[in-house]
Amino acid sequence: MNKMTQKKLVTMAMLAGLSIVLMYLVRFPLIPGASFLEYDMADVPILIGTFLFGPVSGIILTAVVSVIQGVTVSAASGWIGIVMHFIATGTFVLVAGLLYRWMRSRKGAAIGLISGSLSMMAIMIPLNLVFTVFFLGVPTETVVAMLIPVIIPFNLIKAGINSVLTFFVYKPVSKVMKLEKKEEGMLKEPR
């Protein structure tokens, strides 16, 4: 195993750990009357890992964090929480990571984060209509009634906050971790 591979694995493990710690420490409801939907910062380290190492690494981080979260911090949600978190965050990091890989710039990061946020919000609509209805036993009418006033705004706000945080901390964090190298006058991360 070469030094870059070792550094990547160590960095990814650290980001996964940080994600779990942030999820444990920073949790609060965003929507009045829907206290069961809590904001957490867990996606920020996952997005940083995605921008550093690419969308596949982001998906791996998402899987690891989803499982650890599902058996520790959010154990009450069980396997449903694991699956929903993996699909929602996985969609977010896949879209953001692919767009950032295609357009490696601040503009590309912004476009990727905005597109990823919108994709996560969109995927949460059918996820809630399937998982909340069929596996949690909530009536379809209740879930449909919550889409516009609760589910869509919650996911947009959560993804939006995590996108803004990622946008502003990604470059400083990657520089501190010395994971960038100077190439042709531009800062680029290893792929």
Percent of the chain whose pLDDT exceeds 90: 71
Cβ atoms of 170 and 50 closer than 8 Å: no
Three-point CA angle 31, 33, 38, nearest 5°: 45
pTM of the model: 0.89
Query: Model confidence over 140-178: pLDDT tens digits?
Result: 999 999 999 999 999 999 999 999 999 999 989 888 876
Radius of gyration for the chain, computed over Cα atoms and rounded to the nearest angstrom = 17
Q: Reply yes or no on whether the pLDDT at 120 is more than 90.
A: yes
Structural domain spans, the chain: 8-28+40-177
Query: CATH second-level architecture of 8-28+40-177?
Result: Orthogonal Bundle (1.10)
Q: Reply yes or no on whether the pLDDT at 127 is more than 60.
A: yes
Query: Model confidence over 25-59: pLDDT tens digits?
Result: 998 998 988 888 899 999 999 999 999 999 999 99
Q: What is the pLDDT of residue 75?
A: 74
Structure tokens at 174: 């990657």
Q: Reply yes or no on whether the pLDDT at 77 is more than 90.
A: no
Q: What is the pLDDT of residue 185?
A: 37
Three-point CA angle 171, 177, 179, nearest 5°: 75
Q: What is the pLDDT of residue 171?
A: 87
